[in-house]
Chain A
Amino acid sequence: MNLMAQILINVIIAFLGGSLLLGFHRKVMARVQLRPGPPIIQYLLHSLKFFFKETTFPKTASIPFYIGITVILAGIWVTGVIVGPVTKGSLMILFGIYAIHKIVEHNAGSSSGSPYGKVSCVRAVFSAAGELPLFAVIAVVFMLTGTMDISGIIAYQAANGPLVLQLPLAAIMFFTLIVTKSPYSPFAITKGKEIISGFETEHFGMLRGYIMFSESIAWYILLWIFLTVFFGPISVVGYLIGMIIICIITGFINATTPMLNPNHSVMAQISIAVICTVGSIIMIII
């Protein structure tokens, strides 16, 4: 199939799939908290609705940066779609995408001129250490499979069985990252409710819809990478079931766990990364 057609189809699948999964995640959280919760399709409807809402740009915002950062966010997640489902490229590029995602959180907060955005901006720098588990996972997977390419990792699993059985601690480490990136996460210090919506506070109206478009792609790609890297070549139904199960587990965790303070959040992630990395290396050596 034509490459551009593949990219467009995958971007649309990632947007629709990610939006519905985020809606489902919110529904699970609501049910755990004994609330009816919004319909599963609500996240998708919100994303589309915001494109038609009344939008102004705040007086205190640095306008080129304030708008440009949302374009960068969409750009990195279109790149994520290309590196992930389309070409099954290198995990290192995905690590780079997450590094840029942190920069987006930082700059979206600072460009708005809002004090809440600025607190979020500082926390984004602080929580960059939370990306350590992803880097550790890539290193451990490379040590075992000898490749960083997703296609190579899939081929390795086709021959040797799923990595989740060989590197369970690395899978736990990656799952920690998924919990960190999930909405209302105990680790999501950049979007804590005490700072309204953190770096997104001043991005309302159409720009909020645009950010939600990127975030739904980001959530889909994150789950896709986890399932591909640790469960090997699986079918479309396998991906669907896997993504739903992950949303149920993260929804349950987030519904029952209060948000950690920034120190505890970062230290907990680093501790999990260190323990799981050392454990995984020992398992590979043995």
Chain B
Amino acid sequence: MNKMKIASYVVFIVSILAILYALIFNPADWIVYAIAIVCIPFLVLSFGLISMSKPIKEEEEERREEPFTGY
């Protein structure tokens, strides 16, 4: 498992826990806003990074040099 995958799982779990904390313990409004603004985007991003399909090793370099990059 590469670094990105591990980081994604960590961010995903931390985001879920923070959102659950706000849901269950009902902290002060500003804490809920901070959790929502930071954790909802990170939750969706980390879910995407976990769920996305990776190219096979031989094709990865080719994919990284997509035609639109130009140079």
Asked whether B69 is an interface residue with its Cβ less than 8 Å from the other chain, the reply is yes
The B31-53 residues at the A interface (CB cut-off 8 A) are 32-33, 35-38, 40-42, 44-45, 47-49, 51-53
Contact of A114 (CB < 8 Å), options: B26, B44, B49, B69: B69
In the complex, chain A residues whose CB is within 8 Å of the CB of B63: 54, 56
Q: Would A4 and B22 be within 8 Å (CB), given that A11-B40, A114-B70 are in contact?
A: yes
Check if B26 sits within 8 Å of A3, measured CB to CB.
yes
Asked whether A46 is an interface residue with its Cβ less than 8 Å from the other chain, the reply is no
In the complex, chain B residues whose CB is within 8 Å of the CB of A57: 64
Q: Mark A1-30, 1 if CB is under 8 A from B, else 0.
A: 011110110010000000000000000000
B27 nearest CB across to chain A (Å): 9
B61 nearest CB across to chain A (Å): 9
Query: Which of A68-76, A184-192, A227-235 is found at the contact surface with chain B?
Result: A68-76
Contact of B64 (CB < 8 Å), options: A58, A75, A112: A58
Interface bin, chain B: 20 to 34
The A57-83 residues at the B interface (CB cut-off 8 A) are 57-60, 67, 70-71, 74-75, 78-79, 82
Contact of A75 (CB < 8 Å), options: B32, B38, B52: B38
Query: Which of A163-171, A203-211, A246-254 is found at the contact surface with chain B?
Result: A203-211
For residue A213, which residue of chain B has the nearest CB? B44
In the complex, chain B residues whose CB is within 8 Å of the CB of A196: 68
Query: Which secondary structure characterizes the binding site on chain B?
Result: helix
Q: Mark B49-60, 1 if CB is under 8 A from A, else 0.
A: 101111100001
Check if A74 sits within 8 Å of B68, measured CB to CB.
no
Asked whether A215 is an interface residue with its Cβ less than 8 Å from the other chain, the reply is no
For residue A11, which residue of chain B has the nearest CB? B40
In the complex, chain A residues whose CB is within 8 Å of the CB of B36: 4, 7-8, 11, 78, 82
In the complex, chain B residues whose CB is within 8 Å of the CB of A7: 32, 36, 40
Check if A51 sits within 8 Å of B51, measured CB to CB.
yes
Tell me, in angstroms, the Cα distance from A71 to B43 when the chains sit together.
10
Check if B48 sits within 8 Å of A113, measured CB to CB.
no
Interface bin, chain A: 35 or more
Tell me, in angstroms, the Cα distance from A239 to B30 when the chains sit together.
28
Asked whether B1 is an interface residue with its Cβ less than 8 Å from the other chain, the reply is no
Tell me, in angstroms, the Cα distance from A206 to B50 when the chains sit together.
10
Asked whether A202 is an interface residue with its Cβ less than 8 Å from the other chain, the reply is yes
For residue A207, which residue of chain B has the nearest CB? B48
Q: Would A74 and B45 be within 8 Å (CB), given that A5-B23, A113-B69 are in contact?
A: yes
In the complex, chain B residues whose CB is within 8 Å of the CB of A193: none
For residue A10, which residue of chain B has the nearest CB? B36
A177 nearest CB across to chain B (Å): 24
Candidate in A56, A116, A201 with the most chain B CB atoms within 10 angstroms:
A56
Binding site for B on A (CB under 8 A): 2-5, 7-8, 11, 51-60, 67, 70-71, 74-75, 78-79, 82, 112-116, 196, 201-202, 204-207, 209-210, 213
Binding site for A on B (CB under 8 A): 19, 22-23, 26, 29, 32-33, 35-38, 40-42, 44-45, 47-49, 51-55, 60, 63-66, 68-71
5 A-B contacts (beta carbon < 8 Å): A51-B52, A59-B65, A114-B70, A209-B48, A210-B45
3 closest residue pairs by CB, A with B: A74-B41, A4-B22, A206-B52
